[in-house]
Amino acid sequence: MRKRSYVFTFVCSFVLMFLYGVVFAEGTASVVLQPGAADFFTKSIIVAALGLVIVAITGAVTQSFAIRKALEGMSRQPEAGGQLQLSMIIGLAFIESLVLYVLFISIILLFANPFTKYFVQ
């Protein structure tokens, strides 16, 4: 079941990546592209999508490990449950913040790429 969800996430990310150009396409081109511009934009989209997919899957797996270990600790020592729960929630927040950082970097790569000035006149 786990392998199927990874494959589903991977396929969905690629479908969204390819639909991105169709959905946000403009009617007329008002800028002149330099010779390597299309390749640059394609690679930017691929890097943003793959980076987000890899970090989201890794974050989900590490969060499941953290929750499992915290629950094992609580089952062994019920009196330490409050401290373990607090530590687990703080750790989950740190893991989730890493995923959000990659999301922000992906959004910057897709919509406000700082390297665009070298490829578009």
Residue 20 lies in a domain: no
Residue 19 lies in a domain: no
In total, how many domains does the chain have? Answer: 1
Residue 102's CATH number: 1.20.20.10
Range of the domain at 102: 50-112
Q: What DSSP assignment string belongs to 16-80?
A: HHHHHHHHT--SS--SPBPTTHHHHHHHHHHHHHHHHHHHHHHHHHHHHHHHHHHHHHHHH-GGG
Residue 42 lies in a domain: no
Residue 44 lies in a domain: no
pLDDT in tens, the chain (121 residues): 566 666 666 666 665 555 555 555 555 555 555 666 677 778 888 888 888 889 989 989 999 999 999 999 999 999 998 999 999 999 999 989 988 998 898 888 888 878 777 777 6
Residue 22 lies in a domain: no
Residue 1 lies in a domain: no
pTM of the predicted structure, to 2 decimals: 0.61
Residue 38 lies in a domain: no
Token representation of residue 116: 């665009």
